[in-house]
Structure 1
Amino acid sequence: MASRCAGRILCVTSSFPRWAGDSTTPFVLHLAQDLQSLGWQVDVLAPHAAGAALSETLAGLGVERFRYLWPSSLETVCYQGGALVNLRKRKGNALKLPALVAAEWLAVLWRLAARRYDLLHSHWILPQGLVGALSARPLRVPHVITVHGGDVFALRGRLLQGFKRLALGAAEAVTVNSSATETAVAGLHSGLRDCRRIPMGVAVRPIDRDSPSILSIRDRYRVGAGPLLVFVGRLVDEKGCADLLEAVRLLSADLADVSAMIIGEGQDRAELEARCRAAGVADRVAFLGWVAPEAVLDHIAAADVFVGPSRTGVDGWVEAQGLTLLEAMVAGTPVVASRLGGIGDSVRDGVTGLLVDERAPEQIAAVVRRLVADPDLWHRLARQARQTVETRFSREASAQAFDNLFAGLIDHRQRVRRSVGRR
């Protein structure tokens, strides 16, 4: 159903698929698509990267990408794991930030001035929220910042904290994806005009865990009778894949057929594969690399347990929400996850999953044993988890909440303009 106050939105983001089938997590794309289905026209502005088109229609959305360095091979701040990872991995990327921010500001300012946008939607406080604050307010365009977590938990320098407070304070509204993100934002700026908790949603579709496609995955990667574990995420320290691998080693002592699928890419892959060989579990662990988004759910459904062992990062990063956890809940695969950040909003211990301390592979091993030994618990957690996603964490629920927020802001702006015009 179309929004009662549908209009034109400029969505600015530093993370968006560079092309069809790209490995970049598509949650910003999905939200934009869902808003379009509710009657909004959404245009996307993102940084350019080598191989990406400067302008195109992607998945029904108008997408423009701004250049910030030449040649394009130098545009390496974003994508491939995200800006935070790239800044840590390549120190030279920090020198490129001024060019990125300046180019983004000019691109946003020009589009807001030249085109009739009803609202600016910035994903992440830095740099998009700051750029939006410097662009939308002078042009009197309502501005909403969506905080995803890494932008508030990391980047803690005094100057950066000041930029964050400036951006948040200038926005008409701020959305956060979890209770943990909400608390962190409140600690940064306690006087926000409108701060709402709107989790990012995931697609909910029927899952037949005994379908031929899922059974074929299970047969390919399972060793004997199982259990088969699965991890989905970036292969970087803060995602904690090393703790899962150590849990597999511990489990192999009494569960001879334990095995694991590792889905994802990242800078630590070679080190993790070497760790498997050194621990003697290389024959039990399959590194699948990047898997197409439409196939990830089937791989999760093929497993017996989903493990999300996130850790606190060296820069303060924590898992703000964890969309892969929600996907596992949709797939009917019980979740074992770290008691960290915003994970507890969806994974309630003993109700929709089982929680363990971070950096505690022995606890992961213990709860996997518990799930294997208690089929009733396994089925209860799987059932309650899916019900939770259906009611609270679906893409439809997320889009409807954003729709209500945007419509209210535009209605308010129009009433103010009419009131001023009558004076």
Structure 2
Amino acid sequence: MSDTSPQAILLTTDFPPMSGGIACFLHGLWDELATSLPATVLSTVPAGTAPRPHRYRLEILEAVGAPGLTTSQRLLRMRGEAVPATLAHLKAAGADALVFIGVWSVMAHHWCQALQKSAIPYAIFAHDGELTDAEMYASVDPWRQGDVRAARFLLANSRDTATRLRMRYGETLDIRVLNPGVPDRPVPENLRPWVAALKADLQLDGGRVLLTVARLERSKGIDLVIRCLPDLARAFPGLRYLVAGEGPEREALESLARSLGVAPLVTFLGRVDELCKQALYDLCEVYVMPSRLVPGRPLEGFGIVFLEAAVAARPCVAGRVGGTADAVVDGVTGLRVDSSDPRETLAALDRLLRDGALRLRLGEAGRERVRRHFLWPAVAGRFLRETGLG
């Protein structure tokens, strides 16, 4: 890597130790970019007690991320302290630096506004409804419109997101598609103790296992899977459903499982760490997340968890909404269902649980597809080509 290489500078309000898909995407991409060029992250998210290992240069804008601040206080500190610190960093970086907004928000708007006033070009990552949903940020939509139209280009996380961006902002917008990536699987020897411990702790006893790793909200379709369990349990004795993640719907989902008499079959694991998550993929036979459209909630922009399951050679059941078509190839790496019809989710799960050869074929095809196209070196290479940094 040459000292004269152009720099990639990320400005983001969503980053580890936050655990969502956006944070994982941006961390993974910038960590890989750091092997090819100078890569810097300016984040408003406190690093926490155990920062994730990384190869990029990381600067925390602590004035904004300090605990106990109200939203108004954070916005004031963003304008008064974080934005000037950012501009000073960009001035020191020089004209060769390319600036990227990790995710648009009201906080990020103040970065965009300052960059426009300083004549510093920037691009914006587009993930889902934060740029495409008219109801989200409706009160500040003129800010959003102005920031999008002032950007050099947008990096959409899926073809579907790109289509919705064009519908919202017009065909003249420069939109480039960059699907997220995932790391390769951990060394099997590192997972075996976790798999054995989980089997014992969860008392799986060799039963069939379905898995969802997701934020617990209605748009993920976890309730659809629970509604399938009475029929599936009769056909497949010993079936278990493991759900990893946190969110506002947990109490409602637990209540639903009790009302249907399947509570003993469903285990809510809460938030899990990376090795535990990878062990869960090893334990399951099918990964299922039948995402659906819920008014007031964004669509599934892509679905990184489908890649995580695929690289573990697990077939996926996905909702036929949003960007899942880029993550799951219907009939090749998994099955995509109409999540407005619970019968389709039931039929897909029943089919996969009955047909071991189909599970194996879809799982192996998914693993091969991820290893060819979605590991971080391949994704970073596409990023460099799409942005002109390569």
TM-score range, shorter chain: 0.7 to 0.9
Q: Deviations over 1:144-197 (max 9, x none)?
A: 111111312435365544323211221122110101110111122235563210
Q: Residues 16 and 28 of structure 1 are in contact (CA less than 8 Å); yes or no, is this contact kept in structure 2?
A: yes
**Over aligned residues, Cα RMSD in angstroms?**
3.0
Partner of 2:54: 59
Partner of 2:150: 170
Query: C-alpha displacement at 1:353, in angstroms?
Result: 0.4
Query: C-alpha displacement at 1:378, in angstroms?
Result: 0.8
Q: Residues 153 and 318 of structure 1 are in contact (CA less than 8 Å); yes or no, is this contact kept in structure 2?
A: no
Match of 1:73 among 68, 71, 87: 68
Q: Deviations over 1:75-129 (max 9, x none)?
A: 5xxxxxxxxxxxxxxxxx6x67854763554443343346547121101233366
Q: Residues 221 and 260 of structure 1 are in contact (CA less than 8 Å); yes or no, is this contact kept in structure 2?
A: no
Mapping of 1:144-293 within 5 angstroms? 144-154=123-133, 156=135, 159-190=139-170, 192=172, 194-205=174-185, 211=192, 213-218=194-199, 220-221=201-202, 223-293=204-274
Query: Partners of 2:276 and 2:343 in 1: how far apart?
Result: 30
Partner of 1:362: 343
Query: C-alpha displacement at 1:143, in angstroms?
Result: 1.0
Q: Residues 10 and 43 of structure 1 are in contact (CA less than 8 Å); yes or no, is this contact kept in structure 2?
A: yes
Partner of 1:82: none
Partner of 1:16: 15
* 316-325 vs 235-244, which moves further: 235-244
Match of 1:108 among 82, 86, 90: 86
Partner of 1:389: 370
Query: Partners of 1:334 and 1:3 in 2: how far apart?
Result: 42
Check 1:4–1:151 CA distance in 2 against 1; reply closer, same or farther (3 A cut): farther
SS at match of 2:68: helix
Q: Residues 298 and 331 of structure 1 are in contact (CA less than 8 Å); yes or no, is this contact kept in structure 2?
A: no
Query: Partners of 1:205 and 1:72 in 2: how far apart?
Result: 35
Query: Partners of 1:244 and 1:112 in 2: how far apart?
Result: 48
Partner of 1:88: none
Query: Partners of 2:19 and 2:138 in 1: how far apart?
Result: 33
Q: Residues 240 and 359 of structure 1 are in contact (CA less than 8 Å); yes or no, is this contact kept in structure 2?
A: no
Query: Partners of 1:263 and 1:376 in 2: how far apart?
Result: 27
Structure 1 segments unaligned to the other structure (5+ residues): 76-92, 410-423
Query: Partners of 1:230 and 1:380 in 2: how far apart?
Result: 19
Check 1:406–1:355 CA distance in 2 against 1; reply closer, same or farther (3 A cut): closer
Partner of 1:141: 120
Check 1:187–1:193 CA distance in 2 against 1; reply closer, same or farther (3 A cut): closer
Match of 1:346 among 323, 327, 350: 327
Q: Residues 159 and 326 of structure 2 are in contact (CA less than 8 Å); yes or no, is this contact kept in structure 1?
A: yes
Query: Partners of 1:188 and 1:165 in 2: how far apart?
Result: 10
Query: Partners of 2:197 and 2:274 in 1: how far apart?
Result: 18
- State the TM-score, normalizing by the size of structure 2: 0.86
Letter in 2 for 1:63: E
SS at match of 1:74: coil
Partner of 2:109: 130
Query: Partners of 2:77 and 2:221 in 1: how far apart?
Result: 30
Check 1:96–1:232 CA distance in 2 against 1; reply closer, same or farther (3 A cut): farther
Query: C-alpha displacement at 1:400, in angstroms?
Result: 1.5
Check 1:370–1:405 CA distance in 2 against 1; reply closer, same or farther (3 A cut): closer
Q: Residues 10 and 45 of structure 1 are in contact (CA less than 8 Å); yes or no, is this contact kept in structure 2?
A: no
Query: Partners of 1:112 and 1:387 in 2: how far apart?
Result: 40
Query: C-alpha displacement at 1:58, in angstroms?
Result: 5.8
Query: Partners of 1:205 and 1:57 in 2: how far apart?
Result: 17
Q: Percent identity?
A: 25
Partner of 1:28: 26
Match of 2:98 among 109, 115, 119: 119
SS at match of 2:105: helix
Q: Residues 311 and 358 of structure 1 are in contact (CA less than 8 Å); yes or no, is this contact kept in structure 2?
A: yes
Query: C-alpha displacement at 1:344, in angstroms?
Result: 1.0
- State the TM-score, normalizing by the size of structure 1: 0.80
Query: C-alpha displacement at 1:357, in angstroms?
Result: 1.4
Q: Residues 213 and 298 of structure 1 are in contact (CA less than 8 Å); yes or no, is this contact kept in structure 2?
A: yes
SS at match of 1:26: helix
Check 1:99–1:241 CA distance in 2 against 1; reply closer, same or farther (3 A cut): farther
Partner of 1:404: 385
Q: Deviations over 1:51-74 (max 9, x none)?
A: 848xx89634322124348x7223
Q: Residues 237 and 313 of structure 1 are in contact (CA less than 8 Å); yes or no, is this contact kept in structure 2?
A: yes
Letter in 2 for 1:74: L
Q: Deviations over 1:298-351 (max 9, x none)?
A: 211210110112122321410010001110011111101101100011212111
Partner of 1:84: none
Mapping of 1:84-103 within 5 angstroms? 98-99=75-76, 102=79
